[in-house]
Amino acid sequence: MAPSMAQITEAVCEVFDVSKSELMSSRRDQRACIPRMAAYKICRDITGWSYPRIGRHFGRDHTSVISGVRRCASIKDPDFHDKIDRAHIIAMRKAGVVLFKSQQQTPMFKTTRKQVKDKQ
């Protein structure tokens, strides 16, 4: 069973050290935007939900979600991608999904670390 949007939101807040109110706010500074984009990406990857549905959850337009998901792929910082992987694993655990050790060590984010290094 896939994690719910609330479980994904909690996991992102935990990993990126932001409150839920900051994540859901209309703020545009990096402290709020970066984790929000990560949450969009994880929601899209895990649940496969539509951009409008994800946008409604965060109080955003679907074009903001599309832009955020695309920007996640363009971020070259490997630490950012590691945080997305950790949030992904935490969200799966919150949903009661048992992950094998090999799955926990494999990057789940579609932009692998190798691709990030190649872009640099």
Q: Is the confidence at residue 62, as pLDDT, over 90? A: yes
Residue 46, CB half-sphere, CA atoms under 13 Å: how many? 29
| Helices then strands, each counted (H, E), the chain | 8, 0
77-111 tens-digit pLDDT: 999 999 999 999 999 999 988 776 665 555 554 44
* Residues of the domain holding 13: 5-119
In the chain, the number of structural domains is: 1
14-57 tens-digit pLDDT: 999 999 999 999 999 999 999 999 999 999 999 989 999 999 99
For residue 39, what is the domain's CATH number?
A: 1.10.1750.10
In angstroms, the CA 107 to CA 89 distance is 10
Residue 17 per-residue DSSP state: T
